[in-house]
Structure 1
């Protein structure tokens, strides 16, 4: 019997299923690998391949959009086949294979190809992984379960940049060596997923049809409203690559640039799980509204930051924003979507937000190149304020499934 279905005494909360812990550890290992690469890649692109801020915005936005489009198809297929694990293994496997492509790349085009393959893998694994958490977790601890996975994921985001810093100092700033070593935890993540997860049986539909994107049309009105607000939300929060570029602007040496992500992920990881537990008791809407206020504050601080102290104050606020939002967004989709369409709902959610991330990152890169970093952060703040207004309107009509 899955842990989520075990009987429990009256008045007690069930434990978080082992499946959620394993998925969190898989995310941790893969994120260590990814962050070792991502915290240095923007600097590598600028210093070694002469990429502009606009090019970085396009690459980052395209990578996220590819992942999100892939998630739609992955979610539909996962619901149609009633299988989650095979798609998750495929997705994490592609992410691992993409890692050695980065140090082998000799041009910007190969970097784009490697990022695209990595994001395709991320897209394939995301919806079935989140649906697997929803499948195995009782509704009364769902916020804690999604928050726990996010917290473990962000531990990887904390450890990865620390490892990158240590390796940069030990190798005299040899970025390519860091990229090569980053392949190790990626393949360990795939191995853990293969041996550590036993997928629970899913009820089969009475008569199965081919997977159709039209299944998205059967999502309820509440799910679509949440997706619409999330699009504004993600338009406001552009790629963390721009935080890394800002760190150099305020005076961080190249070897220490990853400390930006160490601080951000430390705050993010410490916040995500307790915020998820809090949302199980008090509701999802309050923490999400707070997250938008935190994003607005982070943008205003970072727009004016010219030295390290205000810069890191902005990074702390950014991390708190992430901790108050990322697990909650996924939980709201799980709460709103019909049971037989949860993976499809996650797929549509990620498709729509991915397209807005693409537009947001291109706009952020253009503003940075044309008007400087302050314009980029101020535009993000304006969108965060708009998203907060839209969210407050949604809050009045929210009806979970």
Structure 2
């Protein structure tokens, strides 16, 4: 594919290997932590703290990348941190070391996210953003199929041998870091600003960001407040009588659909528009969450998780492509990092709210509220100056990015 450059292939394989490493541990992480003495409360504190670190650091390191006019060092160091954190968690079982290694893993994600997505954006034109981000998302999510599948097979032959998996997971993680050595700095990257970067970079960037960026992100953040952890979907399946292996199987199935449809969704978005594709994905999300309230058997859940994969393919990479199309090239990492950081905080709030609603009103109420709000957000995007947004996307290019950044469209 001519639209997929060498750099996009390299970044996609890096993400594939990293996701194999991370997702290999995802289904067994709670089991492992319990086996070394962690309570459910402590597991919650650990995950909340780690995700908060990842979220808060994305805006900061994205801004830093834009200031330095460099992407590759942040990508490489971010992937290295995540890779070396895996064996530390398997070797040291003291709570302090577990917190340290888990924080290292998430910090690595925070360091690399903005710079990596900015590199992807630099490798595309406004007319190919959907394809490029969709292809990368497809490869990334393929790792979420391979990783858990390997973990299931391994634990079938070596039950409860969790610590060994952490050492095995380091192999694809380190492979990703080694592959990152093939990356070269994009010569088009320029120094954007001499402002100091700090952990308040969200507010600094938000103040000067284009109006269209603010409108887009506000809508995405409102949606983020009801887009709670996928854990709730899996818990719903479990509560209806599915066995643990079936629940993990559904999770793998969802990721497979997500991986298979990410590239076609990106190609379609380049043809019909990024925004219509995003809106379609939000309506699918509403249907899935509404359907979850009535799902009763394995067929229902597999059908809904199939659609959930379609939703993810139509929104995750597409939203990033939209962001990079309505912000100057020199601000790409800041724009994506700020959104990713704020969205991480929204996701944390969403999961807490989802848990409270589930506890006090039941799962049906939680799923219905999420469905209704996502429909409302969809209509918000439908009314969001569609004509101006298309003009903005079509007019965007690195040569006139500074003008567009000030246009207020």
Flag whether TM exceeds 0.5 (same fold): yes
Partner of residue 167 from structure 2, selected from 172, 180, 184: 180
Task: Compute the RMSD of aligned alpha carbons.
Answer: 2.6
What is the alpha-carbon distance in structure 2 between the residues aligned to residue 203 and residue 172 of structure 1?
Answer: 49
**Residue of structure 1 equivalent to 2:77:** 90
For residues 184-242 of structure 1, the C-alpha deviation after alignment (integer angstroms, 9 at most, x for no partner) is 21111111112x21122245449845446334422100011111111022222222233
3-state SS of paired residue (1:304) = coil
Alignment of 1:185-196 (within 5 A): 185-194=172-181, 196=182
8 Å contact kept, 1:61–1:361: no
For residues 366 and 280 of structure 1, do their structure 2 counterparts lie closer, same or farther at Cα, with a shift above 3 Å needed?
same
Alignment of 1:161-172 (within 5 A): 161-172=148-159
What is the alpha-carbon distance in structure 2 between the residues aligned to residue 312 and residue 58 of structure 1?
Answer: 31
**Residue of structure 1 equivalent to 2:89:** 102
For residues 159 and 344 of structure 1, do their structure 2 counterparts lie closer, same or farther at Cα, with a shift above 3 Å needed?
same
TM-score (norm 1): 0.87
8 Å contact kept, 1:285–1:395: no
For residues 113 and 207 of structure 1, do their structure 2 counterparts lie closer, same or farther at Cα, with a shift above 3 Å needed?
closer
8 Å contact kept, 1:235–1:357: yes
What is the alpha-carbon distance in structure 2 between the residues aligned to residue 112 and residue 159 of structure 1?
Answer: 26
1:200 maps to 2:190:
no
What is the alpha-carbon distance in structure 1 between the residues aligned to residue 15 and residue 193 of structure 2?
Answer: 35
> Deviation at 1:142?
1.6
8 Å contact kept, 2:54–2:106: yes
For residues 75-110 of structure 1, the C-alpha deviation after alignment (integer angstroms, 9 at most, x for no partner) is 111111111000011111111122224334647665
Question: Alignment length, in residue pairs?
Answer: 387
**Residue of structure 1 equivalent to 2:401:** none
> Deviation at 1:307?
2.7
> Deviation at 1:51?
4.5
8 Å contact kept, 1:243–1:260: no
What is the alpha-carbon distance in structure 1 between the residues aligned to residue 102 and residue 376 of structure 2?
Answer: 31
8 Å contact kept, 1:235–1:356: yes
For residues 49 and 228 of structure 1, do their structure 2 counterparts lie closer, same or farther at Cα, with a shift above 3 Å needed?
farther
**Residue of structure 2 equivalent to 1:38:** 26
**Residue of structure 2 equivalent to 1:8:** none
**Residue of structure 1 equivalent to 2:228:** 238
> Deviation at 1:262?
1.2
Structure 2 gaps, min length 5: 394-403, 405-409
**Residue of structure 2 equivalent to 1:6:** none
For residues 262-300 of structure 1, the C-alpha deviation after alignment (integer angstroms, 9 at most, x for no partner) is 111111111111111111111111111111111111112
What is the alpha-carbon distance in structure 2 between the residues aligned to residue 249 and residue 105 of structure 1?
Answer: 34
**Residue of structure 2 equivalent to 1:339:** 329
Structure 1 gaps, min length 5: 1-12
What is the alpha-carbon distance in structure 2 between the residues aligned to residue 289 and residue 118 of structure 1?
Answer: 32
Partner of residue 147 from structure 1, selected from 127, 134, 139: 134
For residues 190 and 206 of structure 1, do their structure 2 counterparts lie closer, same or farther at Cα, with a shift above 3 Å needed?
closer
8 Å contact kept, 2:79–2:109: yes
Alignment of 1:9-158 (within 5 A): 14-44=2-32, 51-52=39-40, 59-104=46-91, 106=93, 111-158=98-145
What is the alpha-carbon distance in structure 1 between the residues aligned to residue 294 and residue 95 of structure 2?
Answer: 32
For residues 277 and 127 of structure 1, do their structure 2 counterparts lie closer, same or farther at Cα, with a shift above 3 Å needed?
same
For residues 105 and 369 of structure 1, do their structure 2 counterparts lie closer, same or farther at Cα, with a shift above 3 Å needed?
farther
Q: Choose 240-249 or 384-393, whichever is displaced more.
A: 240-249
For residues 380 and 64 of structure 1, do their structure 2 counterparts lie closer, same or farther at Cα, with a shift above 3 Å needed?
farther
**Residue of structure 2 equivalent to 1:384:** 374
What is the alpha-carbon distance in structure 2 between the residues aligned to residue 378 and residue 111 of structure 1?
Answer: 37
3-state SS of paired residue (1:388) = helix
**Residue of structure 2 equivalent to 1:3:** none
